[in-house]
Amino acid sequence: MRGPLVTPFHAGEIARRGTARLRAGLPFIPMHFGQPSAGAPAAAIAAAHRVLDRDPLGYEELVELRERIAAHYADTHGVQIELERILLTAGASAALVAAYAALFRPGDRVAVMRPGYPAYRNTLCAMRLEPVEVACGADMGFRPTPAMIAALQPVPQGIVIASPANPTGAMLDGAQLGALLATCRDRGIRVISDEIYHGISFGKRAVSALELDPGAIVINSYSKLYRMPGWRLGWMVAPLELAEQLHIYLINMFLTPATLAQHAALAAMDEPGDLAHWVRIYERNRARLIEGLAAMGITRIVPPDGAFYLYADVSHLTGDSMQFCLRAVDEIGVGLAPGIDFDPEAGRHFVRFSFAVTPDEIERALELLAGWL
């Protein structure tokens, strides 16, 4: 067998040990993966029950859901999107695979930020594309700049950007995003904008690339704001001339996304009060976590603008973030993600805390960490 093209998610080992603890009756606080501990909105679950009782659940792409997504862009971002430009996918993950497959050819170079979501890089490698990692560290507030993109030589064929970003929660404002998109346009770099954390931001609204550049390819998902990671549903928006091609790829690779999830998602989108309630909880968790970690001497943090992550520099505690996270799960049952997942180099000095848990879990984790450190 030939060697693997991709590296594992190291947080997967933390998950495995956490699950083993739970099976052994030991406590475990899951702050390692980016998944809301609260499930889908009640209205989404009720809708799924109703559909399950009456619908044969064949392969289907609900027009009503695409209409609802179009209405969301009109209401939230002030942009009109034709239905033909909206494609339903099995999560942002399937959207990413289809976008890479349709836009690039083997050997093409695609820029990704470091630190960044590991699957951007790994999926590029799996598809014989070349990731070009752009260092975008704490000194830059974890925000890419037009100058960084202008300096890339040779010019990459594409770039993946995310605002808010994983693992840092850093967000670009309209002017910053606009300048970045303009540089990409000038250099002929195709932009994939991962907007999966939209709707989860603290104080500022996240600007969609679609407000600034109709040529951008946007991917999004029901996994984060809508709290439906296990339902495996997301969407993408592409320029008309690409959307048909992307649809052909999606149908060939995945057929349609889960029909039951589409019905549930339609109901979830009409629950703004419920969604906002959880965003307020994340906001309180964020403040409490920043305060509690500071009391333990963990102060080198760029406060996240959005998403539900805090990416902390723990270089005064460890030079091996994986070892640190293994010990945290084994010794006190707190699940954290090692920075090496997001940045194989500087990530040795960072850990990511997900605060998409309950306020009680945040308090307990802080207590355990304080005693342990």
| Count of other CB atoms within 10 angstroms of residue 49 | 10
Decide whether 34 or 131 has the Cβ nearer to ligand PLP: 34
State how far the Cα of 345 lies from the Cα of 163, in Å rounded to an integer: 22
Measured from the CB atom, is 196 or 206 closer to ligand PLP? Answer: 196
193 belongs to the binding site for ligand PLP (CB under 6 A) = no
Positive or negative torsion for Cα 260, 263, 265, 268: negative
CA atoms of 219 and 176, how far apart (whole Å): 19
130 forms bridges with which residues in the sheet?
A: 109
CB of 294 to ligand PLP, least distance (A): 26
Q: Does 134 bind ligand PLP (CB under 6 A)?
A: no
Give me the 19-58 binding string for ligand PLP, x by CB under 6 A, dash otherwise. ---------------x------------------------
Q: How many residues bind ligand PLP (CB under 6 A)?
A: 13
Reading across the β-sheet that carries 130-135, which strands appear in turn?
A: 86-89, 234-237, 217-221, 190-194, 158-162, 109-114, 130-135
Alpha-carbon distances, residue 337 vs 181, 216, 233, 252 (angstroms):
30, 30, 24, 34
In whole angstroms, how close is the CB of 213 to ligand PLP at the nearest point? 20
Spatial CA neighbour of 304 closest among 169, 162, 148, 150: 169
| Residue (177 or 366) nearer to ligand PLP, CB | 177
Q: Binding ligand PLP by CB under 6 A: which of 131, 234, 333, 335? A: 234
Minimum CB distance to ligand PLP, residue 293 (Å): 21
One of 157, 208, 221, 321 touching ligand PLP (CB under 6 A): 221
Kindly state whether residue 195 participates in binding ligand PLP, applying the rule CB under 6 A. Answer: no
Shortest distance in whole angstroms from residue 93 CB to ligand PLP? 3
Residue 200 binds to ligand PLP (criterion: CB under 6 A): no
Nearer Cβ to ligand PLP, position 229 or 333? Answer: 229
Site map for ligand PLP, 281-320, x if CB under 6 A?
----------------------------------------
| Residue from 117, 235, 249, 311 binding ligand PLP (CB under 6 A) | 117
Residue reference for tokens 């820029």:
111
Q: Which is nearer to ligand PLP, 224 or 318 (CB)?
A: 224
Is residue 319 within 8 Å of 349, Cβ to Cβ?
yes
Nearer to ligand PLP, 157 or 223 (CB): 223
What is the residue type of 310? L
Amino acid identity, position 14: I
**Closest distance to ligand PLP from the beta carbon of 234 (Å):** 4
- Which residue lies nearer to ligand PLP by CB, 66 or 121? 121
Q: Judged by CB under 6 A, does residue 142 bind ligand PLP?
A: no
Which residues, numbered 54-113, are part of the site for ligand PLP (CB under 6 A)? 91-93
Q: Judged by CB under 6 A, does residue 262 bind ligand PLP?
A: no
Q: What gap in Å lies between CA 190 and CA 216, rounded to an integer?
A: 7
Structure tokens at 254: 């995945």
Return the number of the residue (34 or 41) whose C-beta is nearest ligand PLP. Answer: 34
One character per residue 149-188, x = contact with ligand PLP (rule: CB under 6 A): -------------x---x----------------------
Binding site for ligand PLP (CB under 6 A): 34, 91-93, 117, 162, 166, 194, 196, 221, 223, 229, 234
